[in-house]
Chains A and B, each alone.
Chain A
Amino acid sequence: MMKRSLFLSLAAGAALAVSPAFAQEAAGTGLPADGIWIMNTLLFLMGGFLVMFMAAGFCMLEVGLVRSKNVSMQCTKNIALFSLASVGYYLIGYTLMYPGDNWMHVGYLASLDPFAQLEAVGLADGADAADYASTGSDFFFQLMFCAATASIVSGALAERIKLWPFLIFTFVLTAVIYPIQASWKWGGGFLDTDYGFQDFAGSTVVHSVGGWAALAGALVLGSRMGKYKDGRVNPIPGSSMPLATLGTFILWLGWFGFNGGSQLAMGTLGDAGDVSRIFANTNAAAAGGVLAAVLLTQVLYGKVDLTMVLNGALAGLVSITAEPLTPTIGVASLIGAVGGIIVVFAVPLLDRLRIDDVVGAIPVHLFAGIWGTMAVLLTNTDATLMGQVIPIAIVGAFVFGASLVVWLVLRLTIGIRVTEEEEMMGLDAAEIGIEAYPEFGKGSQFM
């Protein structure tokens, strides 16, 4: 993805390292250099605002799957986390993630000098690479991925976490944890140079990172009251299936920018063709995930479970994210379908382990993220088994460990969980003071 390609190409002394396997330079005169730069920049901008809208998708999905007494809280968390990620990624994150030659420990940790300084934007002073895209568009695009990582955490911890500790964690995740591990692959760090790790748009670098952080949080936070009682699992149905479905469709749309934009270039016939192919494959994987979940829940439970189907769509999308270019459309559907199957089995598995993940973020982003990263091996000959497995484990250990420490420190200092009474009352009343549906009469706050 983006700069990763740039650094790769610089290292190789070549031009843009864009999937030579698929780039077919058909007969044509080609764009002048300015045109290529403009098209690449345009791809980042379009991809970036599509991924930005995924923040809305996560928000709607989450509010649909929580009870009505916690809806305002979920909305507040989502818009605040996006904004915090925007600041944290600017102050520290971007510098940590894309050090160029400016490493503190080469391949592992970037230097933070200069602090909070986005490279000057524009070609005039040589700040922007003439064969890449504008730095502003690159920053904008990268920021959205960072924010998506934080959104993943929010859903898993819903309905019992306090607002401020969550926001503090979000800042640490987006400013420090995410950028450091992302520099290992996309910033040209050791996972890229030593392992040849292949993760096109971030099944591991983005999705499983969010999943690991969510898992650590869910373990430290504990389950919602009444979810596991007397050795039984007590489902807590969400408040709005239409909103959850809308959120899933928005995420699905945003994913075209997520994966398509990660081609990092659209200035040649080959790149434009690849971007289109990525769009088609991304869609196919989501559809595969949906259909697998529809069939499987029908067979297992006698009825189709809509919430699992929505998770299936997202699991399909996460599964194709590590390699959305090289599979055929048919193979992409199957990769997505396996993601959908993983979700249907992983959701009850987490319940058996007493890990309360309100929206299924861990099955979707962590489990399907690992699967998607392994699925690269099916179609991309550049990937090696150990080159995928070891980075998955390294990123997992780092993110889970770092997140666990932050969550534990927060729990021991300011506390991360609301009181039992506040939890029963609902976080809208307890933490926010605004009910999502004040005139709807008796909602779940009375149950």
Chain B
Amino acid sequence: MKLIIAIVKPFKLEEVREALTNIGVQGMLVSEGKGFGRQSGHTEIYRGAEYAVTFVPKLKLEIVVSDDLAASVVDAIATTAKTGRIGDGKIFTLNVEQAMRIRTDETGPDAL
């Protein structure tokens, strides 16, 4: 099993969710967050004075899938979350040792 963590632009969430459900993903966790990357935020002007927006709003998606689905999940996110402009985000893939569905005690890929 793989844990895929994707950081995406907030307005891309619906597109990503649709693409993932289309390829058989059955669940995901979404959290709101703020962060910065190589771009280091941007500047805005308020009442005539410039100020740095050092943390930009992002969404963090966490998805656990079976090994055979992982590549297509990464692919689907990369395709739908892409705008081609700076700040599109990142995708990380991690190994998952174990999974368990609390209600039924199922473990492994059956629990996903």
In the complex, how many angstroms separate the beta carbon of B60 from the nearest chain A beta carbon? 17
A residues 356-376 touching B (CB-CB < 8 Å): 360
A285-316: CB near B (< 8 Å → 1, else 0) gives 00000000000000011110101100000000
Task: Tell me if B29 is interfacial: C-beta within 8 Å of chain A.
Answer: no
Provide the bound-state CA to CA distance between A348 and B46, in Å: 10
A residues 165-191 touching B (CB-CB < 8 Å): none
Provide the bound-state CA to CA distance between A308 and B48, in Å: 9
CB-CB nearest in chain B for A235: B46
Which of A302, A303, A348 makes the CB contact (< 8 A) with B49?
Answer: A348
Is the CB–CB distance between B49 and A305 below 8 Å?
Answer: no
B37-79: CB near A (< 8 Å → 1, else 0) gives 0000000011111110000000000000000000000000000
By DSSP majority rule, is chain B's interface helix, strand, loop, or mixed?
A: strand
Category for how many chain B residues contact A: under 10
Is the CB–CB distance between B51 and A234 below 8 Å?
Answer: yes
Provide the bound-state CA to CA distance between A344 and B47, in Å: 8
Category for how many chain A residues contact B: 10 to 19
- A344 partner residues in chain B, CB cutoff 8 A: 48
Is the CB–CB distance between A301 and B51 below 8 Å?
Answer: no
CB-CB nearest in chain A for B48: A348
In the complex, how many angstroms separate the beta carbon of B8 from the nearest chain A beta carbon? 22
Provide the bound-state CA to CA distance between A43 and B48, in Å: 40
Is the CB–CB distance between A347 and B45 below 8 Å?
Answer: no
In the complex, how many angstroms separate the beta carbon of A286 from the nearest chain B beta carbon? 20
- B49 partner residues in chain A, CB cutoff 8 A: 233-235, 348, 351
Provide the bound-state CA to CA distance between A237 and B47, in Å: 9
Is the CB–CB distance between A308 and B51 below 8 Å?
Answer: no
- A302 partner residues in chain B, CB cutoff 8 A: 45
CB-CB nearest in chain B for A311: B47
Which of B46, B48, B50 makes the CB contact (< 8 A) with A237?
Answer: B46
CB-CB nearest in chain B for A65: B47
Is the CB–CB distance between A307 and B47 below 8 Å?
Answer: yes
Provide the bound-state CA to CA distance between A360 and B50, in Å: 17
Provide the bound-state CA to CA distance between A300 and B46, in Å: 12
In the complex, how many angstroms separate the beta carbon of B68 from the nearest chain A beta carbon? 40
Provide the bound-state CA to CA distance between A166 and B95, in Å: 61
- A348 partner residues in chain B, CB cutoff 8 A: 47-49
- A360 partner residues in chain B, CB cutoff 8 A: 47
CB-defined A-B contacts under 8 Å, sample of 26: A234-B49, A234-B51, A235-B47, A235-B49, A235-B50, A235-B51, A237-B46, A300-B48, A301-B45, A301-B48, A302-B45, A305-B45, A305-B46, A305-B48, A307-B46, A307-B47, A308-B47, A308-B48, A344-B48, A347-B47, A347-B48, A348-B47, A351-B47, A351-B48, A351-B49, A360-B47
Ranked 9 nearest A-B pairs via Cβ: A348-B48, A235-B46, A233-B49, A301-B45, A235-B51, A235-B49, A347-B48, A347-B47, A237-B46
